[in-house]
Amino acid sequence: MVPYMELDFSKLNGLITTVVQDQTTGRVLMVGFMNEEAFRKTVETGSVTFFSRSRNKLWLKGETSGHRLVVKEISTDCDRDALLIKVEALGPGVCHEGYQSCFFRRLENGQWQESEPRAYDPAAVYGSNS
């Protein structure tokens, strides 16, 4: 059977790398993984849905926080083994640690440094025990 949309899910055991980019600012917000079902849901619903490797199930981004990623444009690469999704990101940040982008640590003089302040309080969104 030809995989959904002729993507190559074979290189990462059924998963495909997905880069999420803010359509307006161009900022790369996060990287996640999709299996075929997650990609199909993303296309059908217009909300980015990943496959969570740690929880081993589909993961509608924003399900808990409300910080959903609204699909604006989907591209794939030459090998068809990666996706680039431009989104409108609802809410102040996509990172569960409270930052606008998951890429909030920059390499400076051989050390990772936080390069921006938090955009929201994760305890208020996810609960203090999460």
Residue 79: what residue type? D
Interface with a copy of itself (CB under 8 A), residue from 63, 88, 97, 121:
97
Positive or negative CA dihedral for 98, 67, 56, 101?
Answer: negative
- For a copy of itself, the closer of residues 31 and 123 by Cβ is 31
Residue with tokens 């059924």: 14
**Using the rule CB under 8 A, is 105 a contact of a copy of itself?**
yes
| 18: exposed, middle or buried (Cβ count in 10 Å: 0-12, 13-18, 19+) | buried
Interface with a copy of itself (CB under 8 A), residue from 75, 88, 121, 123:
75
Residue 2 backbone zone (phi > 0: left; psi -120 to 50: alpha; other: beta): beta
- For a copy of itself, the closer of residues 64 and 115 by Cβ is 115
Binding site for a copy of itself (CB under 8 A): 5-6, 11-12, 17, 19, 21, 25-28, 30-31, 43, 53, 73-80, 82, 84, 95-97, 99, 102-107, 112, 115
